[in-house]
């Protein structure tokens, strides 16, 4: 009888080991079930990033507090790119023209291009004649903030300016540039 008890014990241990191995394989194979690939990749990426950060040993510094002055017009002028780096979206057909800086939401393309379309029609219809001289318009696509910098610093002053908001006009007024 002892043989049958020993055989049963061996059988139970064998079944337990096989069950444990099957359970471990099952857990390993199904650990990512129910999670999207981006979740799995995110976790893996965060793990890799943590290891990289440990090797780099970054140090944190105290933030530096300083006053940023935007009133130095000469400095602003030096930092601005040449005005010709901004796209001319409407080219005049005459040598006499009025240059207008316009924000991209009016001087863009398609639904953002109402000013562009209007100016092209104006130029194609001959523009306007003043004292016998024919004038067209040139539209240059310049963001409102950068236009204010060009105008207030004196680096490039257009004949007209159509900002995205009246606040830009108020900023020019605050800089001592009178506009209408």
Tokens linked to 2: 């002892």
What pLDDT score was predicted for residue 162?
Answer: 93
What pLDDT score was predicted for residue 4?
Answer: 62
User: Which is nearest to 116 in space by CA: 104, 134, 98?
Assistant: 104
In contact, 176 and 125? CB cutoff 8 Å? no
Say how far apart CA 45 and CA 23 lie, in whole Å.
27
Element (H, E) at 54: helix 37-56
Cα angle 7-8-12, degrees, rounded to a multiple of 5: 120
Tokens linked to 141: 């696509």
User: Which is nearest to 108 in space by CA: 124, 93, 125, 86?
Assistant: 86
**What's this model's pTM, rounded to 2 decimal places?**
0.59
Instruction: Using 50 as the pLDDT threshold, list the residues of the chain that sit under it.
Output: 1
Could you read off the pLDDT of 161-178 as tens digits, one per residue?
999 999 999 999 988 888
Instruction: Provide the residue ranges of all domains of the chain, joining segments of one domain with +.
Output: 73-174
């Amino acid at each position: 009888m002892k043989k049958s008890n020993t055989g049963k014990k061996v059988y139970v241990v064998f079944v337990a080991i096989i069950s444990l191995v099957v359970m471990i394989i099952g857990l390993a194979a199904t650990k990512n079930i129910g999670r999207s690939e981006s979740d799995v990749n995110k976790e893996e990426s965060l793990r890799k990033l943590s290891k990289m950060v440990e090797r780099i040993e970054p140090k944190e510094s105290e933030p530096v507090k300083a006053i940023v002055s935007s009133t130095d017009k000469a400095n602003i002028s030096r930092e601005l790119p040449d005005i010709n780096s901004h796209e001319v979206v409407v080219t005049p057909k005459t040598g006499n023209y009025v240059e207008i800086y316009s924000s991209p939401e009016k001087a863009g393309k398609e639904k953002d291009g109402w000013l562009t379309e209007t100016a092209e029609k104006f130029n194609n219809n001959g523009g306007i004649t003043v004292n016998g001289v024919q004038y067209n318009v040139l539209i240059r696509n310049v963001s409102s903030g950068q236009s204010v910098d060009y105008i207030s610093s004196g680096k490039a002053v257009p004949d007209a300016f159509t900002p995205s908001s009246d606040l830009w006009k108020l900023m020019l007024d605050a800089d001592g540039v009178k506009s209408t």
